[in-house]
Amino acid sequence: MKRLIIPAGILGILLGVLPLQSLERGASIGLGVVSFSDDATGETLSYQQLALRPHLRVGKFSIGLNLEIHYRFTGGDGQDFEIREEDWNPQGEINALELYLPKIDYLRYGEKGDPLYLSLGSFSDATLGNGFIMESYSNILFRPERPLFGALLDIDSRLVGLPYGGIETVVANTAAWDVIAGRLFIRPLGGMESVLLSRIQTGATLAVDRDPYYHVQKQETPQNPFADESTPDPVIIWGVDTRIPLVEAERLSLAVFGDVVNQDNRLGGMVGTGGVLQTGPLGLIYGGQLRLYEDNFVPTYFDGTYDRRRVERFRIYDGERDVKGTLGWLARLGFSSAREGLRFVTTMSGPFEDGTGTGPDLKSTLTITEGAFPGFPGLSVSGTYQAFDLAEPADIVEAENTLMGLRLNIRSGPVVISLVTDVRHDPLAQGDPWTVTSGLETSIAF
């Protein structure tokens, strides 16, 4: 396929110019079954998957490609088949940049927390400051149908020997520049020898969604109510924050923090505390917040589900849906063990009073790395469950207005078998509000 020349050429050039003595390289081949939702009919279709994923690393620089072909047999004798053209030929509202840039799965320099950190491609945990504007934002919610190529860039003044501040930036999709955010922060006491005082931060964040209908207008289903809608005014959110560490010890970390945020001239504020308490092999993750906000203010507007709930958020921001201002709360509790490879965190937030137009939200995440289960050294699991606008405790297990995701991997030597399932319920959907996608893949590393 001719279009493979583009990403393969990029990788070939890098292989030619980078010093081979420090080069770490490899690749994997993926074979599996993936389900897609047909934009024209809404029907779920199953495709065979063939993927080549080469990668290399030189020092702090790393790159990985994701070259996938999906096909399915259409003839009764098994001889006729079709290749999913949407993977390689721009269709409908998808342009060439939106299609081809995500063939680069990642392009990175450094690690999060380094004085210079650059990550291009897919990401799932972009947070600015204390997270009252953006927390755990993800640009991978439309995979595998529509991957995005985003950008994260962090520059700390420590890069030039000055410990006094820096900047953090997020671009969800460099082919569209729709969701853009940045935070400038200072450490006013960064030059002091005290660890606690030198880590005090004050920052200012600006986040913009230039096209809240971006994703829904990419869908071509006949029931799409936004197909002919004009681009609305952008969402513009800005705020200031501070964070003060109180304890940084071997078994206990504790910080207090706060934010004041403006959403279309509506104010919201938050004060909170959180940290980790080490108890034996487990670290207890804890946190709590008090939140006060005006009518139609959305705390953590850009969260981990934002791209899937973009229109719902905009209806509140634009005043189409009324949400009463009130005093709210957030509670977070979980545990983590780096040695055992376990992490589980549950976060719940909502208003203190009823009748505000919205209910509490719940998010639980589970990560189990290889080696955590005795007798199953190659097993790893990652899962997420999120429920929104809970009216009563029983709604937690009702599954309506939810997002669920599960990935289970079993490794044996160079072979990894993965089961992936995503379930989502969209209360704004026309027709069936349920969408279920799943896939089974076998990858071989070499």
State the pLDDT at residue 428: 60
Overall number of domains in the chain:
1
Residues whose CB falls within 8 Å of the CB of residue 433, separated by 6 or more in sequence, listed in order: 400, 425, 426, 427
- Do the domain assignments include residue 424? no
CB atoms closer than 10 angstroms to residue 28: 17
The parts of the chain modelled with pLDDT lower than 70 are 1-22, 37-42, 75-79, 219-231, 338-340, 399, 425-433
Boundaries of domain holding 252: 107-268+291-323
State the pLDDT at residue 76: 59
Judged by DSSP in three states, 215 sits in helix
- Do the domain assignments include residue 303? yes
Judged by DSSP in three states, 173 sits in coil
Cα separation, 104 vs 113, in Å, equals 23
Which own/partner contact pairs does 114-119 have at CB distance under 8 Å and 24+ positions apart? 114/60, 114/154, 114/156, 115/155, 115/156, 115/157, 115/158, 115/159, 115/166, 116/154, 116/155, 116/156, 116/159, 117/152, 117/153, 117/154, 118/151, 118/152, 118/153, 118/154, 119/151, 119/152, 119/153
Residues whose CB falls within 8 Å of the CB of residue 318, separated by 6 or more in sequence, listed in order: 232, 233
Q: What is the DSSP letter of 161?
A: T
In 3D space, the residue among 291, 176, 184 whose CA is nearest the CA of residue 234 turns out to be 176
Residues whose CB falls within 8 Å of the CB of residue 146, separated by 6 or more in sequence, listed in order: 94, 98, 215, 218
Cα separation, 109 vs 111, in Å, equals 7
- Do the domain assignments include residue 174? yes
- Evaluate whether 151 touches 224 at the Cβ level (below 8 Å): no
- Evaluate whether 368 touches 381 at the Cβ level (below 8 Å): yes
Which residue in this structure is represented by tokens 């429920």? 387
- Do the domain assignments include residue 157? yes
- Do the domain assignments include residue 38? no
- pLDDT tens sequence across 312-368: 899 999 988 899 999 999 999 999 986 668 899 999 999 998 888 888 999 999 999
- Do the domain assignments include residue 175? yes
- Do the domain assignments include residue 435? no
- Do the domain assignments include residue 309? yes
Judged by DSSP in three states, 389 sits in coil
